[in-house]
Chain A
Amino acid sequence: MKQINYRLYVIVVGCGRIGLEVATHLSDTGFDMTIVEKSPDALSALPENYGGFTIIGDATERDVLKRAKAEKADLLIATTGDDPTNYFVSLIGSKIFGITNVISLVRSKENVTLFENSGIRVISPINLAIETFQRSILEGVEPAAGDDK
């Protein structure tokens, strides 16, 4: 894995399937990492070579994000399974702790606009799936005769 030489501090909220992979990957890449998760059980699923910090707690509570040194974070990634929780954590991160880059998982397609309008970068699994399907379907389709694009 390629190492990067500048230090960015990243907080990942939620250690579900996606949060876990993202955190592990980022820590492999060389980011300074903290993962915040409510359930100790979920944290035990982290691989042994995960090199970041872990905090057990509810990220919607201020003291938990303070313990994670949110005011020093360059990036916050919200990956819980609940859109209102992700939205709330994202905005506490950006508006209260002043984190400039906030990315959130958005489960329900209809919530994407609200997140985007609030200045949060959105990862929408369903939209990603749809786009990927479309792309792979379109790639397999021969351009119709006379269509020179």
Chain B
Amino acid sequence: MKVIIIGGERVPYFLAKKLIASGYKVYFVNKDKELCEEYSRTLNATIIYGDGQSKAVLDHLGIEPDDIVVLLTERDRKNFFIARLVQEYYKVRNVVTFLNNSENEDLFDRYGIRTLKVTDLIMQNIEPLLFENEVVEMINDEASNRGATVLKVDVDWDSKIANKALHELKIPDGIVVVGIVREDKYLIPRGDTIIKPDDKLILICSEEQSKAAMEIFFL
């Protein structure tokens, strides 16, 4: 069994290195001549300079049904085309591909092509950040110039409030913790909620209490 990586730039390099270290035979197909030259010096893999969308090029690889084909070209349509070529002509069972536009997943699914939804993955990662931003902006819009301010607190490992329950902080009137951003969750805090390192606290306080808030959360 061999692993055939078609297209891509840096991902194939690190992928190939790992696979080779685990004892797999790796083939790398790319249209970029310089990249092929570089990898032929640095990787212990079979490097093929050519267009993976061409059956004539694929024919050189001696692809067999139990090989794994990984598709990393920049367009969904190209990856789909190559996936179908290797399924149709060499009966490859396992094809994995990058998927840029997640709405195309249904078509890939229909042909049993595994997809890595890159855009979705990135979106999932930044969504909590976007949400946090939106919350802060929303409260800020309402609060600013009306006697209240919004503060954001990044909790470090050595922060004095880390690993404490909110009620232990003895937060005075005029200061409210309205949210804790933890990984991809937005927590609605209660008195017994434990603050953890890497949390982000969003708090709202009256202008008179902002100094007190700084002392509790930052110093």
Most buried by A among B77, B88, B103, B106: B77
Q: Known contacts being A91-B107, A95-B110, A110-B55, is A61 close to B101, with CB within 8 Å? A: yes
Interfacial chain A residues near B104, Cβ < 8 Å = 92
Interfacial chain B residues near A29, Cβ < 8 Å = none
CB distance from B73 to the nearest CB of A (A): 9
A60 touches B84 (CB 8 A): no
**DSSP majority for the A interface?**
helix
CB distance from A65 to the nearest CB of B (A): 11
Interfacial chain B residues near A85, Cβ < 8 Å = 77
B84 touches A118 (CB 8 A): yes
B107 touches A92 (CB 8 A): yes
A114 touches B76 (CB 8 A): no
Interfacial chain A residues near B101, Cβ < 8 Å = 61
Q: Does A62 contact B (CB under 8 A)?
A: yes
Contact of B76 among A60, A111, A113 (CB under 8 A): A60
Interfacial chain A residues near B80, Cβ < 8 Å = 84, 87-88, 91
CA distance A91 to B107 in the complex (A): 8
CB distance from B115 to the nearest CB of A (A): 14
Q: Interface on B for A, CB 8 Å cutoff?
A: 53-56, 75-78, 80-81, 84-85, 88-89, 101, 103-104, 106-107, 110
7 cross-chain pairs, A with B, having the tightest CB-CB distances, nearest first: A84-B81, A88-B77, A110-B55, A84-B77, A62-B103, A84-B78, A114-B88
